[in-house]
Structure 1
Amino acid sequence: MQYYQVDTPDVGLVVRADDRTYDLGTSDTPVESFRELANASRLSGTGLTEITERLTSSAEELPATGIEDDLVRPLSPDEVWAAGVTYEISEAAREEESDRPDVYMDVYNSDRPELFFKATASRTVGPGEQVGIRSDSTWDVPEPELGIVLYRGETVGYTIGNDMSSRSIEGENPLFLPQAKVYDRCCSLGPGITPVDAVPDPHDLTMNMTITRDGESLYDDGTSTAKMHRTCEELVSYFTRHNAVPELAVLMTGTSLVPEDDFTLREGDTVTISIDSLGELVNEVTVV
């Protein structure tokens, strides 16, 4: 089961389950967004899957194909946060870009994870939209990540995230991290949201990323979330500690797919990220 938002007039939240697609905006109790669905689930004490099954009994069924071209960001998060140095290769890549490698080694070995604010909804794009690279940066990469969707601090689903990053700015000084990470179009989410009960083990998912330029493949590699140095539960625990978390948030869990040091994104490149059970997120690159 997956939830989608489409750029189609008079269509609400779309759910695809058992090869059938429904518009939950046409059910007896119309639901227009994932936020509304999560709130209804919480207020009723009913799981997302159970409440969705009730809604689909009265919802209009949509054609099995055709929504892919109309997909937009599956949710409008109040905040997006991200974790860093959660994979060994990520820690190694950070060391190579900085002349202060001990900073990243300390984080990798620390009990406390690195968590940082990433984006607001206005800085976030969805499938088919353009992700950004800063015009004042000389070394830019995508970072494919498993995204945890949280409603009032509770994990309700998963999505794919692209944590766009300026390695040249962060490499100049780790304290420049906010500018390397937070800017217009710095984050992509999608294509949909998969509820927690449809993902048996978030720490055993295959992840792939490809980067193409003018039809030529420049990068193609894969990994598994089994290689994460941290657990999703651990990251969520630190995110919610002493923190007035927003109603709807996404916490991205770090990356282990990093292009070679001599690679940087250019305008017009296409980044494709896929994760088992979550689908495929495709974005073109633009300069902001």
Structure 2
Amino acid sequence: MKLVRYGEFGRERPGLIDDQGVLRDLSAVVPDIAGDTLLPEGLARLRGLDPKTLPAVSGAPRFGACVGGVGKFVCVGLNYTDHAAESGMPIPEEPVLFMKPTNCIVGPYDHVEIPRGSQKTDWEVELGIVIGKAAKYVSKENAYEHVAGYCIVNDVSERAFQLEHGGQWDKGKGCDTFGPVGPWLVTTDEIPDPHVLDMWLEVDGKRYQNGSTRTMIFDVPTIVSYISRFMSLQPGDIISTGTPPGVGLGQKPPVYLKAGQTMHLFIDGLGEQKQTTVPAA
């Protein structure tokens, strides 16, 4: 299934995309694509529906983040061998974790703000994991049981804030609009192997990132199991699993975003995102 949230910011409604690409409203079935809806029994209930019996949504409504009520937005840094190399950092022996605050979450086509004083705003296309069942001290063998599905994440980053202001990556990761998520949550039955997905990112039509989840250092079950050792994961939590090479920081010389540019992202089976950059209000 492809589950979505659509409508104006803060008032999104739940929906799904049927086999013909038609947006169908789920408001009479579930309150949101969040919480209990993402439990295995919640997803089984949605799979049992005939999409043709759901109201079709007319027009072209805004798509919000594909998951609502996100409690935690956990990220894995330097999780691609070639990205670690372009960043000039050693390949980690264990997953590098940091958090993006949930205030950064926006829809896949919403504007991305260039923060005040920013000179080094950067892009990162990433595979997102959406948790479907609470996870605490789970084994790698059982980790997939706790995954509801996958989505695209743009881990927008301000490199000077991240690396040049006294440490702690979170400073450069959590600015408002720095977490476009979606367009849809694709359930695990449609993505049997998340480690063979091609992905790319373009800025103003120029392709900078052109990679694959095949080069991830730590795979999905390892990541879910590892994080669950340090914090419990709840339905709707998002894990962003790292980015392939081609970020602005890694260009020679580095290239960073300016207001008025367009980012275009793609991951096999998960759809596309597109954002225009604007000055922060």
For the criterion TM > 0.5, the same-fold answer is yes
Change in 2 beyond 3 A, CA 1:251/1:40: closer
Asked if structure 1 preserves the Cα contact closer than 8 Å seen for 2:104 and 2:178, the reply is yes
- The root-mean-square deviation of aligned C-alpha atoms, in Å, is 2.5
Change in 2 beyond 3 A, CA 1:93/1:41: closer
Counterparts in 2 of 1:1-288, with a 5 A limit?
1-7=1-7, 12-19=13-20, 20-26=22-28, 30-35=29-34, 39-40=36-37, 42=39, 46=41, 48=43, 50-56=44-50, 59-62=53-56, 66-67=59-60, 69-76=61-68, 77-95=70-88, 104-105=89-90, 108-110=91-93, 112-120=94-102, 122-151=103-132, 152-153=134-135, 154-172=146-164, 175-212=167-204, 217-256=205-244, 257-259=246-248, 260=251, 261-288=253-280
Asked if structure 2 preserves the Cα contact closer than 8 Å seen for 1:119 and 1:186, the reply is no
Structure 1, unaligned runs of 5 or more: 96-103
Identity of aligned residues (%): 26
**SS of structure 2 residue aligned to 1:226:** helix
Q: Cα deviations across residues 4-60 of structure 1 (Å, max 9, x unaligned)?
A: 11117x98421123225432223xxx2131115xx1563xx5372x42232336842
CA distance in 1, matches of 2:31, 2:198: 31
* Amino acid corresponding to residue 113 of structure 1 in structure 2: P
Structure 2, unaligned runs of 5 or more: 136-145
More strand by proportion, 1 or 2? 1
Asked if structure 2 preserves the Cα contact closer than 8 Å seen for 1:81 and 1:118, the reply is yes
Q: Which residue of structure 2 aligns with residue 100 of structure 1?
A: none
How far apart are residue 268 of structure 1 and its match?
Answer: 1.5
* Amino acid corresponding to residue 32 of structure 1 in structure 2: P
CA distance in 1, matches of 2:83, 2:163: 13
CA distance in 1, matches of 2:203, 2:194: 24
CA distance in 1, matches of 2:19, 2:215: 30
More helix by proportion, 1 or 2? 1
